[in-house]
Amino acid sequence: MAKRKKALEPALTGYGDFDAATRRLCELDVETRELEARRDKWLMYVKSRYAEKLAAIASDRKGLAAQCEQFVRAHLDDVAPAKSIDRAYAVASLRDCPPAVKLKGGKRWNAEKIIAACEAVTGAAAEVFRTFVAVKKSIDKPAVLAAHRDKTVTDAELAKCGLAVAAGEAFNIDLKLDSIAKHRPDAGPVEDRTDAA
pLDDT at 2: 55
pLDDT in tens, 20-74: 999 999 999 999 999 999 999 999 999 999 999 999 999 999 999 999 999 999 9
Q: Which residues touch 85 (CB under 8 Å, ≥6 apart)?
A: 72, 75, 78, 79, 91, 92, 93
Judged against a pLDDT cut of 80, whether residue 184 lies above it is answered with no
Strands 84-86 and 91-93 come out as antiparallel
pLDDT at 182: 54
Count the alpha carbons within 13 Å of 21 in the hemisphere toward its beta carbon: 12
Q: What is d(CA 100, CA 102) in angstroms, rounded to the nearest whole number?
A: 6
pLDDT in tens, 2-21: 565 565 667 888 999 999 99
pTM over 0.85: no
How large is the greatest C-alpha to C-alpha distance in the chain, in angstroms?
A: 86
pLDDT at 46: 94
pLDDT in tens, 88-139: 999 999 988 898 898 887 788 888 899 999 999 999 898 899 899 998 889 9
